[in-house]
Structure 1
Amino acid sequence: MQPTKYTLITGASSGLGKEFARQCAAGGRNLILMALPGSNMFSLAESLELEYGVDVRFFEFDMTNTVLLQQTLEEVMSQYQVNFLINNAGIGGTSAITDTSLERIDSIIQLNIRSTVIVTRMLIPHLLQHKESYIMNIASMAAFTPIAYKTVYPASKAFISSFFLGLREELAGTGLFVSVVYPGPIMTNSHTSRRIIGQGFKGKMGLLNTSEIAAIALKGTFSKCRVIIPGLMNRINHTLMQLLPLSFKLKLVSREVKKEIQFTI
């Protein structure tokens, strides 16, 4: 009998992560979901099991706690066969660097970079045990240019882009395929929605709902695509931005992002 295989999704309690969980379950994939404490994962797991007939396990903890993260991953690997990893967990925000607390900066770096690398490094030997397995990583269109008033966030996503594209090349020929997804704006919560709406037409360019992004990302990953940019407008925008000088591009994007500060909580 073949062992039961699972898809592990980080940041699975809401937004894009929750939609990945739903679509993977709809596709018959058993799930291991990770989210912060108090995320009501029991309710999500129960509803996915009832609706799609899959097995759903969940872990609620803070991924920036390195000791707890390692312990949880060791527990997962000892009990479950994971053949698909979705690195979705991440945080950002918009504010002047002098108005951004050291704790906030550290949280972005810890979650977006350190925790993501730890999860990936620990799971790679496990994933390589399968004839074919996948790692999907959620970067951002912000990875393509530095941005004032965000500074740390696009830098963290540029790291994700560089790290995982390099990793894909390193793992070429192993049967473990790595994809990087670069979503544009996503209305994942009320705060993000206010920021996007506040920018007017420009803020809504490239806007897709989470179900569309998740579907495109999953299709691209299972097609073994290296780079996935959901949405025609985002692909056009990326092509055009590549043609602009860095100084002009930096000023242009930063001027628009500065408008988001008024919506910062």
Structure 2
Amino acid sequence: MNKTYTLITGASSGLGSAFALCCARLKMNLILIALPGSAIKRTGEELRRLYGVEVHIFEFDLTSNEAFETHVGIIKASFAVNFLINNAGMGGTVPMLDCSPQVIDKIIRLNISCTALLTRELLPQLLRHEKSYVLNIASMAAFSPIAYKTVYPASKAFVSSFSLGLREEMQHEGLSVSVACPGPIMTNSNTSQRILLQGYKGRLGLVSTMDLANRIVRQTLAGRAVIVPGWWNRMNQKLMGIIPSTIKVRLISGVIKRELQLTH
């Protein structure tokens, strides 16, 4: 296997789609994973045409054990992956009592289990290369508990901890592991509405999705451990490291509570 591939989960829209475009521009062959019924095939065709790279599409639900085993087995047998981008994830803003057990389970499966399991499944392949990379997408939410989101920031704190632990474990193996903690991203109309409701402060951390992808990929390839794009987000990260947890969670949760009240 002389050709190498970059595998991107959640590649059909938002940051995942921007990662696909960014990596295609860098002449990386791609394996794109997305849910069935997305526009991923059209994206793949465009990337092939514009950049002359190989693009292989897999449409399945990562949280389905059977689909995961089948498709990941095919990928492992067919492609030499040297760059894994665990981008797929989900969250939501809802009081805990209104959040169904099914949604809680889905967040934990996708954000935590799939990130850890896909990384573990591809680890032997990644280590065959002289230099390889894993990029896990966490969030600014990883730096503090947040009421009315509750499970989401906890899952992203796992992603951050998992990434840094694995990075240390693999430091002499030629595998560089990075975790990115982006702030608000205007990926869809619902998310955009929530960001705009936060006013000036909500918009301060915004970086365009394409710019965000470029920055994150560039810093991953440079071997950066923790990537926090945008000066406002980096300042927030420093502040959150200073403020006591009980005060921090109250301040952030207050913003989310007001946002909920405005949308209901």
TM normalised by structure 2 equals: 0.98
Aligned CA distance change for structure 1 residues 19 and 264 (closer, same or farther; 3 Å): farther
Query: In the alignment, residue 173 of structure 1 is paired with which amino acid?
Result: H
Deviations 1:197-249 (A, max 9, x none): 01111211211111111111111101101111000110011111211111111
Who is 2:34 aligned against? 35
CA distance, structure 1, for counterparts of residue 259 and residue 4 of structure 2: 42
CA distance, structure 2, for counterparts of residue 249 and residue 8 of structure 1: 36
Aligned CA distance change for structure 1 residues 263 and 61 (closer, same or farther; 3 Å): farther
Aligned pair 1:74/2:73, yes or no? yes
1:263 to partner: Cα distance: 7.0
Deviations 1:95-116 (A, max 9, x none): 1000111111111001001111
1:259 to partner: Cα distance: 2.6
DSSP 3-state at the match of 2:8: strand
Query: In the alignment, residue 105 of structure 2 is paired with which amino acid?
Result: D
CA distance, structure 1, for counterparts of residue 65 and residue 85 of structure 2: 19
The alignment of Structure 1 onto Structure 2 pairs a total of residues equal to 264
Who is 2:153 aligned against? 154
DSSP 3-state at the match of 2:223: coil
Who is 1:11 aligned against? 10
Percent identity over paired residues: 53
CA contact (8 A) 1:95 1:264 kept: no
Structure 1: which 5+ residue stretches go unaligned? Answer: none
Aligned pair 1:188/2:206, yes or no? no
Aligned CA distance change for structure 1 residues 162 and 264 (closer, same or farther; 3 Å): farther
Q: How does 1:156-175 map to 2 (within 5 A)?
A: 156-175=155-174
CA contact (8 A) 1:66 1:115 kept: no
CA contact (8 A) 1:145 1:154 kept: yes
TM normalised by structure 1 equals: 0.97
Structure 2: which 5+ residue stretches go unaligned? Answer: none
Query: In the alignment, residue 221 of structure 1 is paired with which amino acid?
Result: T
CA contact (8 A) 1:4 1:81 kept: yes
CA distance, structure 2, for counterparts of residue 230 and residue 66 of structure 1: 33
Aligned CA distance change for structure 1 residues 131 and 6 (closer, same or farther; 3 Å): same
Q: How does 1:90-109 map to 2 (within 5 A)?
A: 90-109=89-108
CA distance, structure 2, for counterparts of residue 248 and residue 112 of structure 1: 26
DSSP 3-state at the match of 1:105: helix
CA contact (8 A) 1:93 1:264 kept: no
CA distance, structure 1, for counterparts of residue 245 and residue 204 of structure 2: 21
CA distance, structure 1, for counterparts of residue 134 and residue 206 of structure 2: 24
Who is 1:54 aligned against? 53
Query: In the alignment, residue 28 of structure 1 is paired with which amino acid?
Result: K
CA distance, structure 2, for counterparts of residue 80 and residue 19 of structure 1: 22
Who is 1:248 aligned against? 247
CA distance, structure 1, for counterparts of residue 238 and residue 44 of structure 2: 40
Deviations 1:52-96 (A, max 9, x none): 110100101111002211211110111111100000000001010
DSSP 3-state at the match of 2:81: strand
CA distance, structure 1, for counterparts of residue 213 and residue 199 of structure 2: 24
CA distance, structure 1, for counterparts of residue 48 and residue 262 of structure 2: 37
Q: How does 1:138-149 map to 2 (within 5 A)?
A: 138-149=137-148
CA distance, structure 1, for counterparts of residue 261 and residue 37 of structure 2: 28
Who is 1:219 aligned against? 218
CA distance, structure 2, for counterparts of residue 203 and residue 184 of structure 1: 9
- The alignment's C-alpha RMSD in Å is 1.2
